[in-house]
Structure 1
Amino acid sequence: MPPAATTNLGYTPPDGGWGWAVVLGAFISIGFSYAFPKSLTIYFKEIQEYFSISYSEIAWVSSVMLASMYAGGPVSSVLVNRYGSRPVVLVGGVMVSAAMVLASFGTTIMHLYLCIGVIGGLGLAFNLQPALTIIGTYFHVKRPLANGLAMTGSPVVLSTLAPLNQFLFDSFGWRGSFLLLGSIVLNCCVAGALMRPVRKTVQLKPNTEPQEIVETAIVDSRGQLSNVQTDKRKTESQAWLHKFVDVSLFRHRGFLIYLVGNVVMFFGFFAPVVFLAPYAKHQGFDEYSAAYLLSIFALVDMFIRPATGFIGNTKWIRPRIQYFFSFAVAYSGVCHLLCPLAPGYVGLVVYAVFFGLAFGMVSALLFEVLMDLVGAHRFSSAVGLVTIIECGPVLLGPPLSGALVDIFGDYKYMYYACGVFMLVPGIFFFIMHYYNYKKLDEEQRQSLAVEMKTSEEAEQLKTSSDDETDGRTH
């Protein structure tokens, strides 16, 4: 097990115990957050015929739900910072349940946009972020493994919901299925109940540095006094804003690297999954063969996520885990670039396996590397800011990729574009994290030098003080 890095939590995370129950709760919560919008596509054809609308109109239900989930990140961040993870997840589960129940009585497609898309999407935001945040409060040494296990919830829940939704659809239709799904999604409340706040064991550090009392003299003049009062009000307003959203992250070097790379990456992250089955059909393969590709992809994704967490937790990878993430992103881009060259159905099966490996690795590391950059104590605010900015690429990525298929009449250009959108940020991550690690090492050396110098000065001051005391005694 690699040694724990320095934390700013102010206590020692238990790295186990009830933390594994929290991981189970996060597994359920994250699973519903990512899998639920995708699983609802089973009902789209009947809803489309029922309301006599186009496929593009019904497809916006999932897009609005995902966009609301990402856009609700800052709101969820504020609530988590204020009330903790458990109550926010409980409220989120109730919101998604109410959204599905209300949608079952829908009379127009706008009704579904509002209920499933907006209310349900916000409910999923209240499930996703608290689940990601609380893992960092329970784990530090084993955090990559815990995150990898929790992120496995997405493919597991999706593989469970897909056949379940088909059964519900065949038995009860879309309205009855939505009512039942409203009760099933209440399992998120069970997951939230598991997210007990961590019992903090405070790290008591000996006070080795001499305390200095500094008196600040304020000159009695109206101009300077006004400046002091203005600065005080400014400081108070900044402290109030910082309590809800940590805007200072936009001056954090590692956070900006992560944000810039992810914005580009998400334009090509989801589209290859969405178009995998249609691409197989376009190649002339039947529907069952096309669906089998998705099953292979989901199966590989399911097993690689915990494996990635285990590998990321090793002593060789953990100290430089950003390079591991950079490799996963670049490797995913290479897979998409080679996909059009895959010959026949066997080639598509090979692509589905390697793409499942890449997608699972990126997904397992996506939030772990952000926590590694900003620290667990700032992660809640960081993920809130990231998700609202990523909302645009998540919403626009698949439609733009679909536009390439419409323009060229072939899927290969879409896969080339997605490959570039993944490979470029992968290379960007490699270069910028090399620079970031180098700067961090320099800053650490400078900090150690300053500490040593301060310690020497304090020792000299203490020695001279003792000498003076001895002289007065004699």
Structure 2
Amino acid sequence: MLVRVSIGSGLTYTASVVVIGLNFEKKRNLAAGIAVSGTGIGTMVFAPVLKLIQTTYGYEGLFILSSGLALQSCIAGALCRPSQIENKRKHDLHKQNLVRCSFLSSNIKLFRNIPFLCMCVSVLCWSTGVYMAYLHLPYYVTTLNTTPIQVAWIISAAGVGGFSSRVLSGLASNNDDIDDMLIYSGSFGVLGICTIFFPLYAVTFTGQIFYGVALGIYSGSCYAVMNSINISIVGINSLDSAFGIEMFSRIF
């Protein structure tokens, strides 16, 4: 079941981010930031709510209600239509009668693109670190006598930070004077520092809330700028393949 859920969520997320990249040009990062801010809102709202549902209805009720919520993504996907950018790209490829060959050659070129390969390694590293933090944070704080409801509020605080950072990063990166790669790399640098020193200030609930907010802020900023970074590295025609490969590298 976990494999099927992972495949479904992976396909849904990758497609949703690529759709944003292919529908916006001038304010692509802002659009991406707003779109992926839903992840932060979900973390903020559903951390305490799902805990309450599990307490009230048990794990069976929790899984049924969670699956119903996930099913709503089908409605959102059904409303998406090919953009002018995507239609123009497909038209150019059909005009050249090189659709399949262009697709294959484009993917081969990606694996020869050193900056793109560095991005894949980067995605692998930060996804491993971030998800390990989210995975072990609840257990770690409970060893410090933090109650289950307080743990839920810490995760909710991460959601607040994630929502805010995605929108603000999208706004900031639309400024030509701000480098997308600086936002991408700088956010993970700050998160690394906060994580290294977390055991020193984790002894208080305030410190735990602070880390939750920092975890959300500095792990969420990258999603607003990944489309623009990929386009600058591989071009708009390879955006979907590039982002898909990057997301695939997260599973290792």
The TM tier, using the shorter chain, reads: 0.7 to 0.9
**Structure 2 CA distance for partners of 1:279 and 1:239, relative to 1, 3 Å:** same
| More divergent stretch after superposition (173-182 vs 376-385) | 173-182
> Which whole-Å deviations, capped at 9, do the CAs of 1:396-447 have from their partners, x for residues lacking one?
xxxxxxxxxxxxxxxxxxxxxxxxxxxxxxxxxxxxxxxxxxxxxxxxxxxx
Match of 1:294 in 2: 155
- Equivalent residue for 1:389? 249
Partner of 2:187: 328
CA distance in 1, matches of 2:213, 2:245: 33
Shift in Å at residue 367 of structure 1? Answer: 4.5
Stretches of 4+ aligned residues off by more than 6 angstroms: none
Distance 1:164 1:285 in 2: 18
**Structure 1 partner of 2:236:** 376
Is 2:41 the partner of 1:156? yes
2:30 paired residue number: 145
- Give, in angstroms, the shift of residue 155 of structure 1: 1.7
- Alignment counterpart, residue 347 of structure 1, candidates 192, 207, 221: 207
**Does the 8 A contact of 2:184 with 2:222 survive in 1?**
yes
Deviates more, 1:278-287 or 1:304-313: 278-287
Shift of the alpha carbon at 1:322?
A: 1.1
CA deviation profile, 1:198-239 (whole Å, cap 9, x unmatched):
135999xxxxxxxxxxxxxxxxxxxxxxxxxxxxxxxx9995
Q: Could you tell me which runs of 5 or more consecutive residues in structure 2 were left unpaired when the two chains were aligned.
A: 89-96
By how many angstroms is 1:323 displaced? 2.0
Give CA-to-partner distance per residue, 1:112-145, whole Å, 9 cap, x none.
Answer: xxxx312222221221111111112211110110
* Rg comparison, structure with higher value: 1
Cα distance in 2 for partners of 1:166, 1:297 equals: 16
Larger mean CA deviation between 179-188 and 373-382 belongs to: 179-188
How much has 1:347 moved relative to structure 2?
2.8
Aligned CA distance change for structure 1 residues 237 and 325 (closer, same or farther; 3 Å): same
Instruction: Give the helix-richer structure, 1 or 2.
Output: 2
Distance 2:54 2:207 in 1: 33
Pairwise mapping of residues 357-368 of structure 1 onto structure 2 (< 5 A)? Answer: 357-368=217-228
Report how far residue 157 of structure 1 moved: 2.3
TM-score normalised according to structure 1 size: 0.46
Task: Kindly state the Cα deviation for residue 148 of structure 1 after the two structures are TM-superposed.
Answer: 0.7
Partner of 1:278: 139
Aligned to 2:83: 198
Cα distance in structure 2, aligned partners of 1:255 and 1:172: 46
* Residues 176, 294 of structure 1: alpha-carbon distance in 2 compared, 3 angstrom cutoff: closer
Whether contact under 8 Å (1:133, 1:376) holds in the other structure is no
Distance verdict in 2 for CA 1:263–1:171, change over 3 Å:
closer
Partners of 2:78 and 2:230 in 1: how far apart? 26
Q: Which 5+ residue runs of structure 1 have no aligned equivalent?
A: 1-115, 204-235, 393-474
Relative contact order, CA 8 A, sep 6+: which one is greater? 2
Alignment root-mean-square deviation, CA: 3.0
Q: Which residue of 2 aligns with 1:255?
A: 116
Task: Specify the alignment match of 1:94 in structure 2.
Answer: none
Checking the alignment, whether the CA contact within 8 Å between 1:325 and 1:369 is kept in structure 2 is no
Cα drift, residue 163 of structure 1: 4.6
Q: Does 1:338 align with 2:197?
A: yes
SS in structure 2 of the partner of residue 277 of structure 1: helix
The answer to whether the Cα contact below 8 Å between 2:231 and 2:239 also exists between their aligned partners in 1 is yes
Q: Aligned equivalents of 2:153 and 2:232: distance in 1?
A: 36
